[in-house]
Chains A and B, each alone.
Chain A
Amino acid sequence: MTVMSRAWGRLTLPGKVIFTAIPLLLALGVALALVVGILGGPIVELASQYGAVLRFLVAATIILVITIPTAFLIIFMEMKIIAFMNLRVGPDRVGPWGTLLSVVHGLKVLMKEDFTPSRADPLIFTLAPVVVYGSSVMTLVVLPFAPGLFAQDFNIGLLYFFAMGGLAVVGLLMAGWSSFNKYSLLGGLRSAAQMVSYEIPLTLSVAGLLLLAGTMSVNQLVANQSGWFTNWYVFQQPLGFLIFFIAVTAEANRTPFDLTEADSEIVAGFATEYSGMRFGFFFFAEYVNVFIVSAMTVALFFGGWNAPFPFPALAILLDPGSLGIWLLLGIAIVPLVGTLVLSLPFLLTRSAMPAWQAIVLGFVLFNVAVVGLLGVWAFVSFDWVAGLLWFLAKTYVFVFTFVWMRATLPRVRIDQLMGFAWKWLMPAALLNLFVTAGAILVVGR
């Protein structure tokens, strides 16, 4: 216990609040689930009157919570993949294969002193990470994860995405200006120049796609791409996709466009003077941004949650009530028989293995098999499970691409960065828009 109390004593105030809030929120969630489960009917009646508001609140909470494991996962991916590309081992101490290292990073950030330089502007200095993190979380609202699994469907969803993405530059400028540090100031100014320049090719690159689709709702855009993978917009807008991907890399401040935090030039850019959880927010926002831009690329150009081929609809509906007494017998007998059957190979062939070990092994195998079967069943019979899996699989391919680029490419210079945006990307995006419009005029949609 002394270890626990000592660790508790080292937490900062926000750390204590967060550590208290997490179990409380979990308990609240469990209690809510129980209440909804037991008193389901009347509450649903009540909720349906405020349905939209309630749905949005729940969705927003879920989104806020899932950013944390997403960031942890991507941080771990980056550490491990870059390590393999560098012929290193990478993290391998905390947790199996080092998987918990990013969690430990998160805890470490909570325990560090939340320091404000004495000449800094305290209010703006404190607000800057909130703005940066808030803007990246707010973009998640329009992302469709699966059929029916989204927070809010705007008819101007894409516009909202660009607007919220552009908000991050305000936070970076605030951080750069308020830190009272010349490196921070340079980083903030670089980020402003970079993001404002790349907003233009970014928005223009999807203009052709919008002409084709005739809608700005991200949900509708994804639904348009159902069927075979040839329906994906990347095959109709290859140039648009390339421009979008490059511009989005610059928007997310990833290598080779990570000038705002160029560590060999301006130390850490806008984040130089930050420590503790305020730095953690910048750090988290960067990796959440990687997820968001990958997800948006998938949603716009790679069919979102659609499978690459028309998936046969095999709705296997289970109705346990119809089984009657057999249900009870099945619950009693199937695990026993399954465990025994699966432990038979070990019992018969491994003479050196004690019988209890073989049976434990059989039980573990039985559980794996049941979970696997349940997964296959859920994948086949629920749209949203299959959709979510396809969506995440495609998204993490792009997350991997970002990590790969980070391991391969050096950083560009600021004049090359600006020149590339204005001299190459913008004319190319305009050309793409022009050709698309012409094609629509001649051929039709």
Chain B
Amino acid sequence: MTTHASMDDPRVTLDEQLGSFEPIPPYPPRTEREHEFYTVADGEMLVNIGPHHPSTHGVLRVVMKLDGERVVDIDPVLGYLHRGVEKLCENADFHHTISYMDPLEYVSSLFCEWPAVMAYEKLLDIKVPRRAEYIRVLTGELNRISSHLLAMGFHALDLGGITPILYSFIERDEMVEMLASITGQRMLFNYFRIGGVNGDLNHEFMSRLGDWMGRATAQVEANQGLLNENEVFVRRNRGVGTIDSQTALKMCWTGPNLRATGVPFDIRRAHPYSVYPELDFDIPTRSEGDSLARYLLRIDEIKQSLRIIDQCLHQMPDGPVMAQVPRLMRPRPGRAFATVEGPRGQYSIYAVSDGTDQPFRFRIHDPSFLHLQSFTLLMPGQLLADWMTINASLDPIMGGIDK
């Protein structure tokens, strides 16, 4: 049995060997890269940030090799939130897997459900009613806005500004309440179904949405004025974590992070799905590719999302919100791949069916994982405090990365 000894306890004589505080690495190096990283030169030190740290957006652990304040090398360590979601899904029937999707990226749950139901609909040859598609787009864009607002608030919080996160949460809370009024949940919605959605729009949702849409644009702009015109904030972000479009494409970046380097790649336009071809919206891009561009691009995306919501409300057809689907689903043997554009990039599901009521293989593709691996490119040569900027601007969510 282990007992805890304290220096303040006079009855305990401490063995000097007890508790050796050399936490890194906990194992002998397994690869050449690990050997290179954990060999510390003179004047360098390894600093462990996370898994419990205020600005790691979950339970990410990064080991930094520091020379003074300057980062020489960086090693992200994953797996602290691994739950084996893919394996869980392979042992659940098709309806069941949708609720496993929600906690993946817990701030944008609908975008994790969406590719899963799209993949199953392809396997089962189900035609989704148009009203259901419109409702999916409407709720999805609301979720995108709330996710972007959260990212922008935490961006400021990581740089030491304590107020913007609370201003962001005013808007986000309104949207979360809106979604809760049709889905019944504030964060893990479990709303999309194979062949439609769980419930039609109701009065509370519509009245809240109408109330909010009247002031949304002005409110979001007013809140962001605290940061966009803040010299300290802008200088902390400009030119930090710059990446060019070619490298970003090679590193498989997608979403706002890729568009901030000038590549107008958006799955809603490049590989259209749902009713996006019928909607009119732009794909905002920026050419700088630094943290400030990534931050500002999210504001532009919020404005486009507001446009889409407006059109959805005007074009929404009448009709059912669920297709006729069998209670017990046994799709034909085959495979399906579905992908959507989420607030962080490309979310995809690759599902293989062997004719039973459970997926034979279930593969989840998450954009944050690919953004996270670029730390090793972006960080060397930057300062310790820049890691918070870069991490916040890439906006990874650990739930999706560790799966």
- Contact residues of A with B, CB < 8 Å? 82, 85-88, 113-120, 122, 180, 182-183, 186, 190, 255-256, 258-259, 262-267, 406-416
Contact = CB atoms under 8 A, between A and B. Distances in A.
Nearest to B69: A414
B8 A264 contact: no
Contacts of A266: 384
A86 B159 contact: no
A415 B69 CA distance: 9
Contacts of A85: 163
A85 B165 CA distance: 12
Contacts of B69: 186, 190, 414-415
Contact of A409 (B6, B55, B157, B232): B232
A416 B235 contact: yes
Contact of B18 (A82, A116, A118, A415): A118
B215 to A, nearest CB: 15
Interface SS majority for chain A:
loop
Interface of B: 5-8, 14, 18-19, 21, 45, 47-48, 53-55, 69, 156-163, 166-167, 170, 226, 230, 232-233, 235-236, 383-386, 388
A337 to B, nearest CB: 54
Nearest to A190: B69
A117 B232 CA distance: 36
A409 B235 CA distance: 12
19 contacts: A86-B163, A87-B167, A116-B7, A117-B7, A118-B5, A182-B47, A182-B48, A263-B160, A264-B157, A265-B384, A266-B384, A267-B53, A407-B162, A410-B161, A410-B236, A411-B159, A412-B235, A413-B236, A413-B385
Contacts of A183: 47
B54 A264 contact: yes
- Best-buried of A86, A190, A255, A407 by chain B (most CB within 10 Å): A86
Contact of A264 (B18, B55, B230): B55
A407 to B, nearest CB: 5
Contacts of A413: 236, 383, 385-386
Nearest to A120: B7
B386 A118 contact: no
Nearest to A82: B162
Contact of A410 (B166, B230, B383, B386): B230
- Best-buried of B47, B53, B69, B160 by chain A (most CB within 10 Å): B160
Given A114-B8, A115-B6, A88 B385 contact: no
Contacts of A256: 160, 232
Contacts of A258: 160
B160 A262 contact: yes
A406 B7 CA distance: 37
A267 B54 contact: yes
B55 A265 contact: yes
Contact of B385 (A115, A116, A117, A414): A414
B167 A409 contact: no
A180 B383 CA distance: 22
Contact of A407 (B159, B163, B235, B386): B163
Contacts of B386: 413
Contacts of A122: 7
A413 B170 CA distance: 29
Given A186-B69, A413-B236, A265 B388 contact: yes
B21 A180 contact: yes
Contacts of A114: 8
A110 to B, nearest CB: 16
